[in-house]
C-alpha cells in the first residue's frame, strides 16, 4: 500500500508523491519559547516524531526540520516582566523544552533552526516581496499586501470578503488594507537591543510568519514535501506562510500540509483563562514520559484527544504490559540459553499489519492496537512453551515495531524499576518502606514464621504493592 496522508490543502486523504523519489523533506513549526511547554505541544511533537520514525523505518530518506521561534512579542513581554534579556529567556526555555522532549522520547530534528539566526534570510525574502509588488514599507514596518496574492485563503478555505469583515487595523499600524499582515515590525521604545536588527526599512524585527518561510526554504528548498503543525496554525500562520513564500518564488511552497488536532482537558478547552493548562513538566512529576507518549499516540493525530487521568492510566498500563512481556520473553530465552540470539526472521504478517496502519495517514491508534495483538501472541506462545526460535522472532518483532513508535525501547527490567519509582511517588508509597517490609518478610520466612510473612505480603498489597518471588529474590511493583 502506498503512503497516504490527509492534506489540509486538498482537504482529503491523498497518495503521497515526493518531490524527489525516496526522499521526504518535512518542516514542522516548533515552539515559541517564552514558557514551559504544555501537553498540547507534546502532542504536536510526538505526532511528527512518530511520523519521521516510521518513514525512516519504512525506507524513506527523511530531512526533518523543526524550528524554535525565539523572537516574538510574547517572549519580549515576558522577558521585560522578569527583567531578563529576551535572548536569555528563550535560551532557557529551549533547554527546558529539550529536557521534556527527551522524557517523551521525541528525537532531535535534523535541523532545529532558531529564528534569530536567520534574520538576513528573512530580510532578503522581504526585500524580494517589496520588489515584486507584494509588500510595502510603511513608517518602519513592512506589510504583505494580501490582495496581491491570488491564492490567499486556499489552505484555510477562507474568502477575502469574509476575512475583511473581521479585520481591523491595530493602533499604530499603518496598513493599506486591514487584511495585510506584518513582515517586519519597527522597533518600539523600550525594546531591548538584542531583539532589534538594522534593516533597509529601519531598525526592527521580523514578523512570526516570515520567520518560518525563510527557515523552511533555506533547509528544504523552494518547494518541499510536508509542512506540519498544530491545527491552530492553519490560519493565519500557515496561510500567510504560503502567501509570502509563493508570492516571492512563484512556486508552490509545500505539497502536503498536515495538522494535528487539539487536546481538551477533561472535555474542556485548554486555556490560560480556565487555568487548566498542564505543562509537560508538571505531568512528568506524576507520570512516566512514555505513558504520556503512549496516551498521545492512542488517538489518530488529526482527531481531538481528551486528557483524563483514566486515559493516561490506561496508556501507562499498556506500556507496563509491553515491558513485562519483553522481560518475560527475555527470561524465557535466558532459561533456554538463547538470550541475545535473534529470531529466525521478522514476522511478516505482524510487520505488514503494522505498516498498513501507519501508511494510512500515520494511524498510530490502529498500529498500537495491532502491536498489542503481537504482544498477546508473544505471551501466549511463551505460556504454551513454544520453540525458542519462534519466541525469539516474536520478541524481536515486538521490539522493532515498538521502537518505531518510540515505545518500549529501554532495557525492560530497568524500565520497570524506573517506572515503579514514578508510580510509587504518585501513590504516596515510600520505596524504602517497601524494601524494609521485604526484608522483614524474608526474615520471617527464614524463621519459618509463614503467618507473619503472609501478613506482610497482605500489608503491602493493601497499599497497592505486589511482591513477586523469583530466583533472583523478591521484586516489587506498584499495581497500576
Judge contact between 271 and 17, C-beta under 8 A: no
Least spacing, CB of residue 229 vs Zn ion, in Å: 6
Asked if 234 is part of the footprint of Zn ion (rule: CB under 5 A), the reply reads no
Which residues from 108-167 bind Zn ion, rule CB under 5 A? Answer: none
How many whole angstroms separate alpha carbon 459 and alpha carbon 280?
A: 34
Q: Which is nearer to Zn ion, 29 or 478 (CB)?
A: 29
How many whole angstroms separate alpha carbon 468 and alpha carbon 1?
A: 45
Stretch that binds Zn ion, among 123-131, 212-220, 383-391, 433-441 (CB under 5 A): 212-220
Least spacing, CB of residue 113 vs Zn ion, in Å: 11
CB atoms under 10 Å from CB of 36, counted, come to 16
Q: Which is nearer to Zn ion, 66 or 441 (CB)?
A: 66
How many whole angstroms separate alpha carbon 361 and alpha carbon 257?
A: 12
Q: What is the DSSP string of 186-234?
A: EPPTT--GGG-B--TT-SEEE-HHHHHHHHHHHHH-SSEEEEEEEGGGI
Least spacing, CB of residue 212 vs Zn ion, in Å: 3
Q: Which is nearer to Zn ion, 212 or 378 (CB)?
A: 212
Judge contact between 82 and 89, C-beta under 8 A: yes
Least spacing, CB of residue 252 vs Zn ion, in Å: 17
Q: What is the DSSP string of 333-401?
A: HHHTT-TTPPPSS--HHHHHHHHHHHHBT--HHHHHHHHHHHHHHHHHHHHTT--HHHHHHHHHHHHHH
Stretch that binds Zn ion, among 138-146, 208-216, 282-290, 298-306 (CB under 5 A): 208-216
Q: Which is nearer to Zn ion, 29 or 247 (CB)?
A: 29
Q: Which is nearer to Zn ion, 29 or 382 (CB)?
A: 29
Which residues, at least 6 apart from 73, have a Cβ–Cβ distance to it below 8 Å? Answer: none
Stretch that binds Zn ion, among 181-189, 210-218, 295-303, 462-470 (CB under 5 A): 210-218
Stretch that binds Zn ion, among 37-45, 183-191, 207-215, 461-469 (CB under 5 A): 207-215
Least spacing, CB of residue 371 vs Zn ion, in Å: 32
Say which DSSP state 38 is in: B
Least spacing, CB of residue 314 vs Zn ion, in Å: 33
Stretch that binds Zn ion, among 70-78, 211-219, 328-336, 394-402 (CB under 5 A): 211-219
Q: Which is nearer to Zn ion, 75 or 283 (CB)?
A: 75
How many whole angstroms separate alpha carbon 440 and alpha carbon 291?
A: 33
Q: Which is nearer to Zn ion, 70 or 320 (CB)?
A: 70
Q: Which is nearer to Zn ion, 29 or 284 (CB)?
A: 29
Least spacing, CB of residue 67 vs Zn ion, in Å: 7
Stretch that binds Zn ion, among 21-29, 188-196, 217-225, 253-261 (CB under 5 A): 21-29
Q: Which is nearer to Zn ion, 135 or 212 (CB)?
A: 212
Would strands 204-206 and 181-186 be described as parallel, antiparallel, or unpaired? antiparallel
Judge contact between 140 and 186, C-beta under 8 A: yes
Q: Which is nearer to Zn ion, 32 or 46 (CB)?
A: 32
Least spacing, CB of residue 69 vs Zn ion, in Å: 7
How many whole angstroms separate alpha carbon 173 and alpha carbon 65?
A: 33
Least spacing, CB of residue 149 vs Zn ion, in Å: 18
Q: Which is nearer to Zn ion, 29 or 89 (CB)?
A: 29
Q: Which residues of 164-191 are buried (b: 16+ CB within 10 A; e: fewer)?
A: eeeeeeeeebebeebbbbbbbbbbeeeb
Stretch that binds Zn ion, among 24-32, 137-145, 262-270, 326-334 (CB under 5 A): 24-32
Residue 436 host element (H or E): helix 431-446
Judge contact between 48 and 228, C-beta under 8 A: yes
Contact string 180-199 vs Zn ion (x = CB under 5 A): --------------------
How many whole angstroms separate alpha carbon 404 and alpha carbon 89?
A: 34
Stretch that binds Zn ion, among 141-149, 206-214, 262-270, 431-439 (CB under 5 A): 206-214
Judge contact between 143 and 183, C-beta under 8 A: yes
Asked if 212 is part of the footprint of Zn ion (rule: CB under 5 A), the reply reads yes
Least spacing, CB of residue 155 vs Zn ion, in Å: 13
How many whole angstroms separate alpha carbon 60 and alpha carbon 358?
A: 14
Stretch that binds Zn ion, among 14-22, 186-194, 205-213, 304-312 (CB under 5 A): 205-213
Which residues from 25-64 bind Zn ion, rule CB under 5 A? Answer: 29
Would strands 23-32 and 224-230 be described as parallel, antiparallel, or unpaired? parallel
Least spacing, CB of residue 29 vs Zn ion, in Å: 3
Q: Which is nearer to Zn ion, 232 or 475 (CB)?
A: 232
Least spacing, CB of residue 220 vs Zn ion, in Å: 13
How many whole angstroms separate alpha carbon 405 and alpha carbon 413?
A: 20
How many whole angstroms separate alpha carbon 25 and alpha carbon 2?
A: 17
Which residues, at least 6 apart from 449, have a Cβ–Cβ distance to it below 8 Å? Answer: none
**Site of interaction with Zn ion (CB under 5 A):** 29, 212
Amino acid at each position: 500500500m502506498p503512503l497516504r496522508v490527509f492534506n489540509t490543502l486538498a482537504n482529503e486523504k491523498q497518495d503521497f508523491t515526493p518531490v524527489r523519489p525516496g526522499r521526504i523533506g518535512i518542516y514542522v513549526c516548533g515552539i515559541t519559547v517564552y514558557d514551559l511547554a504544555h501537553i498540547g505541544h507534546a502532542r504536536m511533537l510526538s505526532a511528527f516524531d512518530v511520523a519521521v520514525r516510521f518513514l525512516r523505518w519504512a525506507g524513506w530518506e527523511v530531512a526533518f526540520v523543526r524550528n524554535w521561534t525565539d523572537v516574538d512579542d510574547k517572549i519580549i513581554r515576558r522577558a521585560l516582566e522578569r527583567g531578563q534579556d529576551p535572548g536569555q529567556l528563550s535560551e532557557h526555555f529551549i533547554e527546558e523544552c529539550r529536557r521534556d522532549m527527551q522524557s517523551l522520547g521525541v528525537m532531535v530534528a535534523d535541523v532545529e533552526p532558531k529564528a534569530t539566526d536567520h534574520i538576513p534570510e528573512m530580510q532578503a525574502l522581504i526585500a524580494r516581496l517589496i520588489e515584486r509588488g507584494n509588500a510595502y514599507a510603511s513608517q518602519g514596518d513592512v506589510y504583505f499586501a494580501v490582495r496581491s496574492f491570488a491564492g490567499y485563503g486556499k489552505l484555510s478555505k477562507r474568502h477575502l470578503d469574509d476575512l475583511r469583515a473581521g479585520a481591523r487595523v491595530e493602533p499604530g499600524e499603518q496598513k493599506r488594507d486591514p487584511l495585510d499582515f506584518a513582515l517586519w515590525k519597527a522597533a518600539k521604545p523600550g525594546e531591548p537591543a538584542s531583539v532589534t536588527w538594522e534593516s533597509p526599512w529601519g531598525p526592527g524585527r521580523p514578523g512570526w510568519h516570515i520567520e518560518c518561510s525563510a527557515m523552511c526554504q533555506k533547509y528544504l528548498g523552494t518547494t518541499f514535501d510536508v509542512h506540519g503543525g498544530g491545527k491552530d496554525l492553519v490560519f493565519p500562520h500557515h496561510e500567510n506562510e504560503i502567501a509570502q513564500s509563493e508570492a516571492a518564488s512563484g512556486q508552490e511552497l509545500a505539497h502536503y500540509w498536515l495538522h494535528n488536532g487539539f487536546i481538551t482537558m477533561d472535555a474542556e478547552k485548554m486555556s490560560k483563562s480556565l487555568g487548566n493548562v498542564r505543562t509537560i513538566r508538571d505531568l512528568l512529576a506524576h507520570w512516566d514520559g512514555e505513558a504520556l507518549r503512549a496516551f498521545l499516540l492512542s488517538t489518530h493525530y488529526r482527531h481531538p484527544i481528551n486528557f483524563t487521568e483514566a486515559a493516561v492510566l490506561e496508556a501507562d498500563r499498556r506500556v507496563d504490559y509491553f515491558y513485562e512481556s519483553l522481560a518475560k520473553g527475555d527470561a524465557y530465552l535466558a532459561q533456554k540459553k538463547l538470550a541475545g540470539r535473534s529470531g529466525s526472521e521478522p514476522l511478516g504478517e505482524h510487520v505488514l499489519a503494522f505498516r498498513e496502519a501507519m501508511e494510512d495517514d500515520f494511524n498510530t491508534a490502529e498500529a498500537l492496537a495491532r502491536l498489542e495483538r503481537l504482544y498477546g501472541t508473544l505471551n501466549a506462545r511463551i505460556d504454551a512453551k513454544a520453540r525458542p526460535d519462534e519466541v525469539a522472532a516474536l520478541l524481536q518483532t515486538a521490539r522493532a515495531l515498538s521502537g518505531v513508535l518510540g515505545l518500549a525501547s529501554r532495557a525492560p527490567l530497568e524500565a520497570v524499576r524506573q517506572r515503579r519509582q514514578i508510580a510509587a511517588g504518585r501513590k504516596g508509597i515510600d520505596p524504602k518502606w517497601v524494601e524494609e517490609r521485604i526484608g522483614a518478610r524474608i526474615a520471617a520466612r527464614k524463621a519459618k514464621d509463614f503467618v507473619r510473612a503472609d501478613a506482610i505480603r497482605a500489608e503491602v498489597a493493601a497499599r497497592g504493592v505486589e511482591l513477586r518471588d523469583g530466583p533472583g529474590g523478591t521484586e516489587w511493583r506498584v499495581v497500576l
